[in-house]
Amino acid sequence: MSTRYGSDRRSSSLEYGTKLDGPKQGSWVFRLYPDAAEGGGSFRSAADPSGASPYPEPLTDYRDDAARRARGKVRRYCAANGLNRLGTLTYAGQGCHDPVQLRADVPAFFRRLGGGSGERFPYLWVPEWHASGHGLHVHFAVGRYIRQRSIEAAWGRGFVHIKLLGDLPVGSGVRGEARMAARYLSKYVGKDLGTGEATGFHRYEVAQGFQPKSVPIKAETADEALGWAAVVMSAAPAHVWRSREEAGWVGPSAVWASWA
């Protein structure tokens, strides 16, 4: 296979996620999410196929790393499902100060929003504490038009707001809007809410059954992995990030790419 990223003389035996023949120093393992139009991977040494950093001290603590992983999952989920409408749910009166109660109220809200038919649809929501001390409220994203009146009736506990994202560059489309929604929601994913994974609560919640599927790609070089990803996506990536271009990068060599 010849691509702009390199060449592969063994294309007849390669599949996505191929087993490389012969002794190797290691290989590149790339995970592509076609529906989200992005993917990333790193070099896995033969001595440490897990791809873990060879350095004894990480750059950030586990909370920072967990937030980084969560932001990536939020971005992929929103992009894959076209979640380009942002909403907010707040409580009336003194508000809600109980994370357990919140996690009962919000899923019930989305069930009611689906109507009596039990229709399921993708959504993602993130909790946040009011800066004014009025308890918790919720930021959420959906991918379809829902009347304000319907949202108010389904919530019934306070105030609601929803809007379609705009002011994006021409040609951004639904996926571009969804990625912007993900960036907005990710601001709250990284906050220390006192309700995160350390206390048994997830940083965000989603409708189950809509997670983007991945395609594993194994290659000898980063360029080869990107080449195979371009084959799956039927296009070269619009953006490519490489760890070698980052000053002071600590950890295995890595690459990330996205498509428009």
Which domain range does residue 142 map to? Answer: 77-206
pLDDT value of residue 206: 97
pTM here is 0.82
At residue 255, what are phi and psi to the nearest 5 degrees?
-145, 150
Lowest mean pLDDT among 15-19, 158-162, 184-188, 242-246: 15-19
pLDDT of residue 49: 56
Q: Structurally, how many domains does the chain consist of? A: 1
- Tens-digit pLDDT profile for residues 65-74: 778 889 999 9
User: C-alpha distances in angstroms, 260 versus 54, 78, 172, 181, 183?
Assistant: 34, 14, 8, 16, 16
Is residue 111 in a domain? yes
Least Cα distance to 56 among 259, 253, 260, 250 occurs for 250
Indicate which CATH number applies to the domain containing 182.
3.30.70
The tokens for 139 are 């930021």
Predicted pLDDT of residue 43: 94
Identity (one letter) of the amino acid at 222?
Answer: A
Compute the distance between CA of residue 84 and CA of residue 110 in angstroms, rounded to an integer: 17
> Has residue 64 got a pLDDT over 70?
no
Q: Is residue 149 part of a domain?
A: yes
Of 117, 95, 120, 96, which Cα lies nearest the Cα of 107? 120
Report yes or no: 238 and 260 within 8 Å, Cβ to Cβ: yes
Q: Is residue 48 part of a domain?
A: no
Mean pLDDT of 176-199: 76
Virtual torsion, Cα 126, 131, 134, 139, nearest 10 deg: -20
Q: How confident is the model at residue 50 (pLDDT cuts 50, 70, 90)?
A: low
- DSSP structure string for 162-184: EEE---PPTT-HHHHHHHHHHHH
User: Which band of pLDDT confidence, cut at 50, 70 and 90, is reported for residue 215?
Assistant: very high
Residue 58 has pLDDT above 80, yes or no: no
Q: Which DSSP category does 12 fall into?
A: T
| Choice among 33-37, 54-58, 142-146 with the minimum mean pLDDT | 54-58
Tokens coding 140: 């959420």
Q: How high is the mean pLDDT of the chain?
A: 82
Higher pLDDT residue, 168 or 83?
83
The pLDDT confidence band at residue 53, using thresholds 50, 70 and 90, is very low
In a domain, 124, yes or no: yes
- pLDDT above 90: residue 38: yes
